[in-house]
């Protein structure tokens, strides 16, 4: 079945450092890819998404490019802030077999990011 693999955390960086969180996927068909972020005690917030190969999603300084040839969707940010400390989840949308448009998100295990001032 479809699956997502993220780099293991936790990841600890200093403020203004460059961030990369690796994400690779296994999927049949053409899934959409997402990065969600979860702050302590909260649900998931969409950070960015890409719906087809070579699409680049971006938001709040974060970027990720849908690479079909390497089945990857790595998250990057040029200069992280303390407020970026959270858990980051890579996910793909896995459509149902029998129903057009049916949705199911398959998540990676999450990467906990801590940014020190």
Q: Beta strand 11-14 with 111-116: parallel, antiparallel or unpaired? A: parallel
Q: Does 56 bind other proteins (CB under 8 A)?
A: no
Which residue number, 13 or 107, has a Cβ lying nearer to other proteins?
A: 107
Minimum CB–partner distance for residue 101 and other proteins (Å): 5
Which residue in the set 60, 104, 114, 116 belongs to the binding site for other proteins (CB under 8 A)?
104
d(CA 107, CA 36): 9
Which of 19, 93, 113, 115 lies at the binding interface for other proteins (CB under 8 A)?
Answer: 93
- CA-CA distance, 103 to 94, in Å (whole number)? 6
Among residues 80 and 90, whose Cβ is nearest to other proteins? 90
Q: Which of 53, 61, 96, 116 binds other proteins (CB under 8 A)?
A: 96
Indicate the residue among 114 and 116 with the shorter CB distance to other proteins: 114
**Nearer to other proteins by C-beta: 25 or 80?**
25
Q: Which stretches of the chain bind other proteins, using CB under 8 A?
A: 32, 34, 36, 42-46, 49, 51, 89, 91, 93, 95-96, 99-110
């Amino acid at each position: 079945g479809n699956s997502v693999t993220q780099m293991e955390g936790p990841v600890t960086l200093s403020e203004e450092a460059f961030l990369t969180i690796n994400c690779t996927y296994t999927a049949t068909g053409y899934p959409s890819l997402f990065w969600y972020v979860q702050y302590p005690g909260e649900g998931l917030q969409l950070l960015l998404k890409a719906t087809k190969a070579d699409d680049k999603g971006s938001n709040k300084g974060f970027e990720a490019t849908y690479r079909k040839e390497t089945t990857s969707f790595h998250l990057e940010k040029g200069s992280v802030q303390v407020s970026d400390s959270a858990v980051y989840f890579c996910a793909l949308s896995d459509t149902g077999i029998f129903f057009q448009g049916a949705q199911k998100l398959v998540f990676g295990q999450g990467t906990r990011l801590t940014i020190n001032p």
